[in-house]
Structure 1
């Protein structure tokens, strides 16, 4: 991990609760993520992993608690102890520091790889086309796809599309990258190329929170593994501890299916 010593957390979640009508999905999540840290969240389906990730980016609103990114409360301001939602414009400005990669690639089908990557820098961040194109080509090269810049998504494999999606998320120069099961929609033989790209990002010191079932990636690339179940953090620690010697029975039961 490349986190500076004694730096405040880049992400600070406190007592985060989220319900969908009568279903309580998150039941008081506390989690800090240091600058430069790679945190992998493991857990069974329905444990609240993806919901928590979406709350960090305010794609889902929380019911109680707080989430701060880079010292700024996301989606809300506190007024006399109560959460008051920010305007859509203010939330959009906050999201400029957070990149997110989803299970589905969500590329614009009518745009080339290059056009997909430059869309946000030009349309939202006001970069010149020349500067955005220069940066986008560097990013496509970084994910091994500079030769595919003029290809449309239908001309790319699933793994290539997901790597374009990673380049697109990086194009806004985020301080934090969120990955929501980025390999779950890929054929098994394509998973490796996406994970290799993510390993490279981790080595370069990018702060990352990754929801995945890829235990090998967690073991190799994570600074910390967090195991969630039933809307709570059950266990967390270094990969060699949580994966190699889990303490909680629920963690042991889950990992026994993979190891």
Structure 2
């Protein structure tokens, strides 16, 4: 059995009076690819943002291996970490957003090397050499000096993936990485993600790409109303879901 890398225990999160996550329990094994499915508003993106503490928890706990994320224990209660400690922990998670989030005034290469140099204090020359390797690995060896405005949406998202990989993360988090792309550009991003999965990268992917989930995911987790409705092997859940709500959702997204 692969070692558990990421553990979520009784995770709750509300915005005002709206309870978005209502007690999520989830374990992710090393090298596992897990796809989160569910309707809009089910809590998928919020769940990702709690994992690297972009959203603080209202209740519960998240662990990367044995380390509590976002908090430390002090005199029997949890205290939120300071910015420096949070930055150290966030480096363990590579986050790929639906909107790319590239710095528009920086080249593709500069976008990739910014965090390793500033956060991890890597030697700039080493970081740039590795940044070129990472951009080549996502098919952008000839676009290292291009600015985001000079790149297609698919190319920008591949830069964002290279940027996430530059931090050598333990877990890659993808928040609907193809939802902002024109249909003809979706495939090039999914191809990169397939390649990452084949290397054994631990990945948690929010997606509506059912074909990708069927092909690549080890496990599918279906969320609705802030709770896990159903989870299991991808082929099992997508072909023969046990819950009526899961069947209803899959009928519509197919």
TM superposition score normalised by structure 2: 0.98
Report the counterpart of residue 113 of structure 2 in structure 1: 118
1:145 to 140, 148, 158: 140
- C-alpha RMSD of the superposition: 1.0
CA distance in structure 1 between the aligned counterparts of 2:174 and 2:76, rounded to whole angstroms: 31
Call closer, same or farther: CA 1:45–1:145 in 2, change over 3 Å.
same
Residue 69 of structure 2 corresponds to: 74
Deviations 1:121-147, CA, capped at 9 Å, x for gaps: 111111111100111011001100011
Which of 215, 221, 227 is the equivalent residue of 1:226? Answer: 221
Q: CA deviation at 1:170?
A: 0.4
Cα distance in 2 for residues equivalent to 1:16 and 1:81:
19
Q: Please give the secondary structure, in 1, of the residue aligned with 2:98.
A: coil
Cα distance, 1:81 vs structure 2: 4.9
Is 1:180–2:191 an aligned residue pair?
no
Could you say which residue in structure 2 is the equivalent of 1:17?
Answer: 12
- How far apart, in 2, do the equivalents of 1:123 and 1:77 lie? 24
Normalised by the length of structure 1, the TM-score is: 0.96
For structure 2, the residue ranges without an aligned partner over 5 or more in a row are none
Give the secondary structure class of the aligned counterpart of 2:211.
helix
Contact 2:87 2:119 in 1 (8 A): no
- CA shift digits 1:188-231 (9 cap, x unpaired): 11001000000100000000000010001100010000000000
Partner of 1:168 in structure 2? 163
Q: When the two structures are aligned, how many residues end up with a matched partner?
A: 254
Runs of 4+ in 1 over 2 A off after TM superposition: 78-83
**Aligned pair 1:55/2:50, yes or no?**
yes
